Amino acid sequence: MPLDRPLNSLGFARPPHRTRVVVAMSGGVDSSVVAAMLAAEGYDVVGVTLQLYDHGAALAKKGACCAGRDIHDARRVAETVGFPHYVLDYENAFRAAVMDDFADAYLAGATPVPCIRCNERVKFKDLLATARDLDADCMATGHYIQRRTGPLGAELHRAADPARDQSYFLFSTTREQLDFLRFPLGHLGSKAETRALAARHGLTVADKPDSQDICFVPNGDYAAVIARLRPGAAEPGDIVDLSGRVLGRHPGVIHYTIGQRKGLGLGGLGDPLYVVRLDPDARRVVVGPRTALSTRTVPVRAINWLGDGPLGSAEHAMEVKVRSTRAPAPAILRPLSETEAEVELLAPEDGISAGQACVFYQSGGSRVLGGGWIARR
């Protein structure tokens, strides 16, 4: 009886040279290392870079992904290592799926996370479909997250390096997508290891700085971008306290986020005041003491469940993240349907905002159980 063929490093029972992998290349060090590593292992690598927004503006924009310089860097890596590379114009799709959603969410008083929408609606949807059209066996990215094979199939796990873990931004990855995706950097212990690998492969991007900003938001000025996308949509209104007393005026709710303290223009009122609620319909910014920001109950919608079996109706003890910069905290998930739930935080947290993600984790473990979008209460 013939022995089973051993699996290659990407999990296929065939030699690397017979395994085609599309690498999503942003032009940064992470995805460049993934492409170089896989090519060195003998895989049939095809690099693809997406042009996501205005190329002219991109050329002058530093510190963002998928900009003009980054497209050049990705192409240079492909030429150095020796694999084909394609640039796809996704500008219209990106604007419709990510930028317009970003603007509309802010105008509705939410605080969106466009990087999640980009993964969900562009990279892991349209680009993944393109990879299939190229007859790829899988698609690899430079994200810091781990894909492991469990008893019931592929599972999503946090990166080995907590400082680099990107699971918050990838909670909406579906089971079908997870079957096709690979994350070769998730096991690395630090970014220094990635840069060392880049240097070992002779990549010019080895010391390239990480992207910091949202790619289409120059200098972090969200309001300016929204004003450009939705001219005249920002309407002035009142700043009020919790009792409805008018304390001042504002130029538009798009200039404010939950938990904001600075820039309110309300000096001389005694104790510090924070934005505790946005009411776009009434054009009001509601402020109050820090204690008013404390929340224990979080409504979650559009859930993507990655646990074993259906979400069901029973309570789930787990850990959750309600901000990308916060550590997972103990919570109870109470399902209302297969896509809706109420999350009870065992310890209250401040500044939770509609439009952010609530990501689910296995208690005391690394597995990502999915997540959903925080809804307005």
Number of domains present in the structure of the chain: 3
Contacts of 26 (CB under 8 A, 6+ apart): 49, 65, 66, 70, 74, 142, 211
Per-residue pLDDT reduced to its tens digit, 279-338 = 999 999 999 999 999 999 999 999 999 999 999 999 999 999 999 989 999 999 999 999
Q: Using the CB atoms, write b or e for 172-193: b if 16+ within 10 Å.
A: bbbeebbebbbbbbbebeebee
DSSP state of 55: H
Both 255 and 364 in one domain: the answer is: no
Which of 65, 118, 138, 358 does the annotation list as catalytic? Answer: 118
In a domain, 323, yes or no: yes
Both 242 and 345 in one domain: the answer is: no
pLDDT beneath 70, residues of the chain: 1-3, 54-67, 212-213, 218, 268
Both 87 and 194 in one domain: the answer is: yes
Q: Which CATH number belongs to the domain containing residue 272 in this structure?
A: 2.30.30.280
In a domain, 179, yes or no: no
Query: Tokens standing for 258?
Result: 């939950």
CA distance 158 to 166: 7
In a domain, 354, yes or no: yes
Contacts of 352 (CB under 8 A, 6+ apart): 258, 295, 298, 322, 323, 374
User: What pTM was computed for the model?
Assistant: 0.91
118 is catalytic: yes
Q: Which CATH number belongs to the domain containing residue 333 in this structure?
A: 2.40.30.10
Provide the pLDDT for residue 137. 98
CA distances (Å), origin 377, targets 243, 298, 306:
18, 8, 25
Letter for the amino acid at 213? D
Query: Tokens standing for 37?
Result: 């590593």
138 is catalytic: no
In a domain, 335, yes or no: yes
Q: Which helix (H) or strand (E) holds 56?
A: helix 55-59
Q: Coil, strand or helix: which one is 98?
A: helix
In a domain, 206, yes or no: yes
Provide the pLDDT for residue 270. 78
Which of 65, 115, 138, 215 does the annotation list as catalytic? Answer: 215
Both 103 and 197 in one domain: the answer is: yes
Q: Which of 243, 275, 292 is the endpoint of a domain?
A: 292
Provide the pLDDT for residue 214. 80
Residues 124, 176: contact at Cβ < 8 Å?
Answer: no
Q: Residue 63 sits in which domain range? A: 16-142+184-219
Dihedral-angle region of residue 219 (phi above 0 means left; psi in -120 to 50 means alpha; beta otherwise): left
Contacts of 288 (CB under 8 A, 6+ apart): 241, 242, 273, 274, 276
CA distance 133 to 46: 12
* Nearest Cα residue to 353 out of 111, 156, 7: 111
Both 117 and 255 in one domain: the answer is: no
Both 47 and 121 in one domain: the answer is: yes
Q: Which of 277, 292, 307 is the endpoint of a domain?
A: 292
Contacts of 336 (CB under 8 A, 6+ apart): 342
Q: What residues does 225 pair with on adjacent strands?
A: none
Both 275 and 369 in one domain: the answer is: no
Both 347 and 285 in one domain: the answer is: no
Structure-token match 């059209």, residue found: 133
* Nearest Cα residue to 38 out of 72, 77, 88: 77
In a domain, 303, yes or no: yes
Q: Which of 161, 192, 219 is the endpoint of a domain?
A: 219
Structure-token match 């306290």, residue found: 241
Provide the pLDDT for residue 60. 44
Q: Which CATH number belongs to the domain containing residue 136 in this structure?
A: 3.40.50.620
- Sign of CA pseudo-dihedral 67, 62, 185, 75: positive
